[in-house]
């Protein structure tokens, strides 16, 4: 049974990188809005299961599956795992929302960035998003939605982010093409572009370095660095019923950085 054939079925979101940071916040915010969650983790199963427990406390169902978004050879097997848990846990063959969130950071000046570093970012951020979405597409319900997580760094430039931002720029272009090609199935595709957020991303630089945190606050209109829940709430809001007509858009959630 698909979600579209049963209007009373629970909505289900698949959130990559849902064990920590922005993905964790998005998973919890979606659960608070009545959405069940499949979340992925790459190594920290204990943290992923803790998120599952937190979601279950909210009265929703959740499953954690291992996935390395930088290894596209595993995507077919991962899609099979998703199909299995959909049938076993929800008696469904489709889910509703895909949030391509999992990622890694890199802070290196252009002249110092190595080919291996660029390949790593490409595999995780662009190739991973591209081919994971492709493999999961048969499992996404008609009328479903996709959110790709990008970065404010595609609009403003900060030294040391050339490779990372370039990959996210590719994701933003991909978003528009997905919206164009998947429109026939009623699937809307959008980009959320966070500003600087207090997480363990890039070694916790924004969260743990007072000088960096103060610098970001100084060029952000709302006067502080972002929190994970600023982004998780925005993702859940974008996937809410009131935003079904939003499509092919880049929505920056940065508190007004560099305006």
State the catalytic residues. Answer: 164
Cα dihedral 246, 250, 256, 259, rounded to 10, equals -120
Separation CA 184–CA 203 (nearest Å) = 41
DSSP one-letter code for 90:
I
Measuring CA to CA, which residue among 30, 66, 16, 74 is closest to residue 46? Answer: 66
**Contact call for residues 170 and 228 (beta carbons, < 8 A):** no
- CA distances (Å), 101 to each of 41, 61, 80, 126, 220, in order? 11, 20, 20, 11, 23
**Cα 47 vs. chain centroid, distance in angstroms?**
17
């Amino acid at each position: 049974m698909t979600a579209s054939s049963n209007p009373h079925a629970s909505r289900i979101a698949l959130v990559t990188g849902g064990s920590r940071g922005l993905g964790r916040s998005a998973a919890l915010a979606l659960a608070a809005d009545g959405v069940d969650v499949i979340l992925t983790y790459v190594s920290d199963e204990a943290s992923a299961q803790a998120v599952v427990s937190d979601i279950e406390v909210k009265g929703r169902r959740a499953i954690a599956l291992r996935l390395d978004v930088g290894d596209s050879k595993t995507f077919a097997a991962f899609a099979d795992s998703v199909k299995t848990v959909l049938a076993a846990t929800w008696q469904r063959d489709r889910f509703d929302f895909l949030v391509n969130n999992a990622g890694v950071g890199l802070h290196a000046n252009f002249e110092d960035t190595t080919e291996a570093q660029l390949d790593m970012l490409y595999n995780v951020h662009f190739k991973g998003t591209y081919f994971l979405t492709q493999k999961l597409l048969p499992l996404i319900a008609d009328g479903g939605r996709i959110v790709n997580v990008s970065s404010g760094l595609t609009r403003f430039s900060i030294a040391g982010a050339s490779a990372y931002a370039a990959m996210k720029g590719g994701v933003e272009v991909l978003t528009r093409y997905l919206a164009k090609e998947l429109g026939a199935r009623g699937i809307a595709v959008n980009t959320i572009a966070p500003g600087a957020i207090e997480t363990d991303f890039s070694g916790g630089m924004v969260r743990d370095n007072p000088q960096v945190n103060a610098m970001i606050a100084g060029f952000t209109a709302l006067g502080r660095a972002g929190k994970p829940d600023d982004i998780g709430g925005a993702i859940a809001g974008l996937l809410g019923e009131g935003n079904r007509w939003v499509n092919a858009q880049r929505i920056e959630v940065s508190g007004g950085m560099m305006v």
